[in-house]
Structure 1
Amino acid sequence: MSGPLPSPSPSAWPPGGAAAPAGAAAPWLSVLIPVHNVKDYLRECLDSVLAQADAGVEVLMVDDCSTDGSDDLVRTLVTEHAAGPVTVRGLFHAQNQGLSGARNTMLQAARGDYVWFVDSDDYLMPGAIPRLRQVVRGHAPALVLCDFFMLRERMKLKHRLRGELHRRTFFGPERQVIRDPSLLMRGLFEAGQMHSWSKIARRSVWGEQLRFPVGRYFEDMATTPFLALLADSVWYEPEVWVAYRQRAGSILATPNVTKAEHLAHALANLRDAAAGTPLDDETRFAWAHFAARNFIGASRMADKALPDGCAEAVAKFRDAFEEASPIPLRDLDLAYKRRGWFVRAMRLRHWLRRADCEGSTSSGRSAI
C-alpha cells in the first residue's frame, strides 16, 4: 500500500521510549492503540488491556495531534504504568496523519511477534488476551480472527434481535488451523466484517510492504483481504473479544462523494494480488458479491450527497466494481438467480442502470 511522503518522525514518551530497553526480550504481543480526541474513552480502553496482559505484552499508543487533551492523557497513562509489568509506550505525531498514519507508525515501532490494533474508544473483553496466548502457544497461526459486540449507550430490543451482542467476523471452521485460502477468503467475504481490530496477525505477515492507505476512508477494507492472502495459517475463535463502540458521526452517517469513491475503490488491486492463489467458484462468488455491495453502498452514498448529479460518479463506481470483481457481471447476475437472490439482482440492476444513464453503454458497455 503506497501513500503520501512520510511525515516527520514521531516523538516518544517517555523520551527514548520508542527504543527497546537494553537486554529486553521481544514481547509476544503488541497492542496498538491509535489516539485522536478520545479523552473520555482512552483510560477505559487501556485498563481493559492491562487488566489481563502479562509481562510479555507491550502497549503502544500514538497520539495523532489531538486537541481535547488526549495527548496529555497519553503521557499521564504512560507515567502511571511505568513501573508495571507491562511496557506502555507513547508516541506523538507532529502532523495529523489520520487513523491509517497512526497505525502505520505503530507497526513500524512495534516489537511484538503478534500485533493487535485496538481502537481507543473500544475495549477488550476479559479473558481475550489469555485465550489468544493459548491459541498462539498451541497452534502459532499467522492470523487470528475473533468476534465482537456492538457497544451502544442504549441497547434496544431491535439491536439484540439484529445480533449485536455477538457479531461473527468469519463464516467457516471454528477453533482449528485453516490453511485453505478458499475457506479463508470465502469466510471473510461472507461475514463482511473487514475491520482490523478483530484480526490479530504476526507482525511478519504485515512485513515492510503492507500498510494502511493514508488519507483514505475504509482503510480496513483496503488491507484486511490482502493480509488474509499473505497469511498461510488462520485460526477463527468464535468468542467476543472486542467491545465496539457505536458513536455519532460515523463514516456511513455522514456521506459524501469522497467517502463513496474510497468505498468503491477499497478492493482495488486485490485481483492482481490474488492472481496466483487458487480460489474455488464459491469463494469467487462471495468476493464478487462483496464487491457488488461496495458498488451499491458507494452509489447510495453518492446519491445522498448529490441526489441530482450522482450519475457520473456511479458510472465510475461501476468501472471500479468491474475491476474488483473476480467474475463478470453476467456471471454474477446468473449466480444471484440460481440462488434465488432476485431482490439482490434487482438492486444491482437498478444501480447499473443509473451508471448507464451517464453513457456507459455508449462506450461499449452493455447492461446485464
Structure 2
Amino acid sequence: MSTPSEEQKPWLTVGIAAYNSAPYIRRTINSVIQQTDNGVRVIIVNDGSRDDTLARINDLVDSYNTGDRQRITVIDQTNAGVAAVRNIAITKADTPYITFLDGDDYWLDHYYDSVLSLIGDPDQADFDLLEYNVLEDRRLLEPEQREGRFVRFNPLGNYRGPLRPEQLEKIMVASKWYVWTRIYRSTLFDDLKFPVDLHYEDMMLVPQLYLRARTIITTEDPLIAYRINLGGQVCNPAQRDIDDVARIIGIHLDIARQQRGHARDMMILLACQSALYYKIMTNIRQGYIGSLGPIRHLLSTIRPMLSDSNVHLPTKTRLLFISPLASNLYTWLKTRPQAARNVMATPTFRKFLGRQQHT
C-alpha cells in the first residue's frame, strides 16, 4: 500500500459504475481504497441496481476511516446505462487525471504502486494516456482468488514518450477500446461524452481521445482483473448491438472526413478493424452464410474511403475486404481444427493463400 500523505494533492479520479454488482462491489471498492492515498478520489455511481448493491456500498463506505470516507462520493440514480455513469464521473471529476472501473472488476494489489513507479511524482505528472494489460477470468472468480489469464490489450509493450504515427497505427490495428485499461488526462474529454444511445460506447469515444493525445506511457504488466460475463453483448449479441456497431463505424468514417493526412487514415483503418468486430457478431447471430449480406453491405460503405487512403490493412482485415465468404470460411475453420487441417492441405487453398500474400 502506498504511504498516505495528508498533503497529497488529489490527482486521480476513479469512476466506478455499479449495476447489480452486489456479489463483487466490496472487492471492487476495497481494491482501490486500500492501496491508494489522499491523491485519489473515488466516484461510485449506483445505476439503479435491483439487488442490494447500494446497501453494500453504503455499509462499506461507513466502515472506512474519516479520511477515506471524505475522498469517496456515492451517487444513486435511476438506471441510465454505463455511458451515463461514466459521463457523470467525467463531469464531477476535478483532478488532472481520470480512470474507470466496472463494479464487478477490481484493481490488482500492485496497481497503484505500479502506476506511481511509471509516472513519478503525481504533482509533476505530464502524460496524456497510461495504458496497461489485464487478467481475465472466464469463471467469474470469487473475490479472494487471484488466478487469471493474462490478456495483452496494450500493443506497445513498455514505452513512454510521444505518441507517434506508427504507434497510433498499432493501437488502431489492435482496437482494444475497453475504457478501464487506461488512465486519461481529464482534458482529453473536453467537449466529448460517451454516447448514451449506443452500446459499445468505448469503441466510439476512446479512439477520439487518441487523436488528441500527444504523450503516452504503456506497461506490459496486468494491473486490473476483469471478470468475463459470458452472457454479455460480445458472446450473445442482439440485433441492436450489431446495428450499433454499424452506426459507430459510420461515426468513424464521419470523423475521418473531418481529418487530414495520417489522422484521416487512422480513422479509416479503425473503421476497417471495427468491421472485423461486426463480422464476428453477425457470424454469431446470423450464421456464416446468413451474415454475408449484412457484411457485404457494411463493407460497401467503407470501400470508397479506403480506396482513397494510404491505409495498409492487416492480413485478416484484407481477407475480409477481398472476400467476406473466404473470411467467414477462415473463421469457421478456426473453430474446427481438423477440418482446417484438411482444407489447408489442399493445393487450391495453398494457391489462394500464396496469391493473397502477394496482393
Query: Structure 2 length as normaliser, TM-score?
Result: 0.75
Seen in structure 2, the aligned counterparts of structure 1 residues 280 and 43 have a Cα distance that, compared at 3 Å, is closer
Q: CA deviation at 1:206?
A: 0.8
Whether 2:129 is the aligned partner of 1:146: answer no
The one-letter amino acid of 1:34's match is A
The one-letter amino acid of 1:245's match is R
Partner deviation per Cα, 1:214-257 (whole Å, 9 max, x = no partner): 13211111111011111121111111011111123111222221
Q: Is the 1:175–1:238 Cα contact (8 Å) retained in structure 2?
A: no
Q: Is the 1:263–1:298 Cα contact (8 Å) retained in structure 2?
A: no
Q: Is the 2:11–2:97 Cα contact (8 Å) retained in structure 1?
A: yes
Quote the Cα distance in structure 2 between the aligned partners of 1:263 and 1:277: 24
Equivalence for 1:197 = 180
Q: CA deviation at 1:341?
A: 8.0
Equivalence for 1:264 = 246
Q: CA RMSD in A?
A: 3.5
Whether 2:53 is the aligned partner of 1:70: answer yes
Quote the Cα distance in structure 2 between the aligned partners of 1:152 and 1:302: 21
Identity %: 20
Quote the Cα distance in structure 2 between the aligned partners of 1:226 and 1:235: 17
Equivalence for 2:85 = 102
The one-letter amino acid of 1:98's match is G
Seen in structure 2, the aligned counterparts of structure 1 residues 317 and 272 have a Cα distance that, compared at 3 Å, is closer
**SS of aligned partner of 1:118:** strand
Quote the Cα distance in structure 2 between the aligned partners of 1:273 and 1:29: 29
- Gapped runs of 5+ residues in structure 2? 1-6, 142-147, 329-359
**SS of aligned partner of 1:247:** coil
Quote the Cα distance in structure 1 between the aligned partners of 2:107 and 2:227: 11
Seen in structure 2, the aligned counterparts of structure 1 residues 129 and 328 have a Cα distance that, compared at 3 Å, is same
**SS of aligned partner of 2:262:** coil
Seen in structure 2, the aligned counterparts of structure 1 residues 279 and 331 have a Cα distance that, compared at 3 Å, is closer
The one-letter amino acid of 1:317's match is L
Equivalence for 2:331 = none
**SS of aligned partner of 1:84:** helix
Equivalence for 1:126 = 109
Q: Is the 1:184–1:228 Cα contact (8 Å) retained in structure 2?
A: no
Quote the Cα distance in structure 1 between the aligned partners of 2:316 and 2:107: 40
Q: Is the 2:22–2:56 Cα contact (8 Å) retained in structure 1?
A: yes
**Residue 307 of structure 2: which of 325, 328, 331 is its match?**
328
Whether 2:25 is the aligned partner of 1:46: answer no
Q: Is the 2:127–2:215 Cα contact (8 Å) retained in structure 1?
A: yes
The one-letter amino acid of 1:31's match is V
The one-letter amino acid of 1:348's match is P
Equivalence for 1:318 = 299
Quote the Cα distance in structure 2 between the aligned partners of 1:173 and 1:276: 28
**Residue 14 of structure 2: which of 31, 37, 50 is its match?**
31
Equivalence for 1:232 = 214
**SS of aligned partner of 2:203:** coil
Equivalence for 2:163 = 179
Equivalence for 1:248 = 230
Seen in structure 2, the aligned counterparts of structure 1 residues 267 and 135 have a Cα distance that, compared at 3 Å, is farther
Equivalence for 1:366 = none
Q: Is the 1:222–1:266 Cα contact (8 Å) retained in structure 2?
A: yes
**SS of aligned partner of 1:176:** strand
Partner deviation per Cα, 1:5-59 (whole Å, 9 max, x = no partner): xxxxxxxxxxxxxxxxxxx986101111001000000000111111211111111
- Gapped runs of 5+ residues in structure 1? 1-23, 156-163, 353-368
Comparing 343-352 and 194-203, the one that deviates more: 343-352
Q: CA deviation at 1:106?
A: 1.5
Partner deviation per Cα, 1:186-225 (whole Å, 9 max, x = no partner): 1212323110000210111111x21111132111111110
Seen in structure 2, the aligned counterparts of structure 1 residues 321 and 286 have a Cα distance that, compared at 3 Å, is closer
Q: Is the 2:131–2:154 Cα contact (8 Å) retained in structure 1?
A: yes
Seen in structure 2, the aligned counterparts of structure 1 residues 173 and 121 have a Cα distance that, compared at 3 Å, is closer
Q: Is the 2:131–2:219 Cα contact (8 Å) retained in structure 1?
A: yes
Quote the Cα distance in structure 2 between the aligned partners of 1:99 and 1:193: 18
**SS of aligned partner of 2:139:** coil
Whether 2:330 is the aligned partner of 1:348: answer no
Partner deviation per Cα, 1:75-126 (whole Å, 9 max, x = no partner): 2222222513461110011x31111111111111122211110111111112
Q: Is the 2:140–2:227 Cα contact (8 Å) retained in structure 1?
A: no
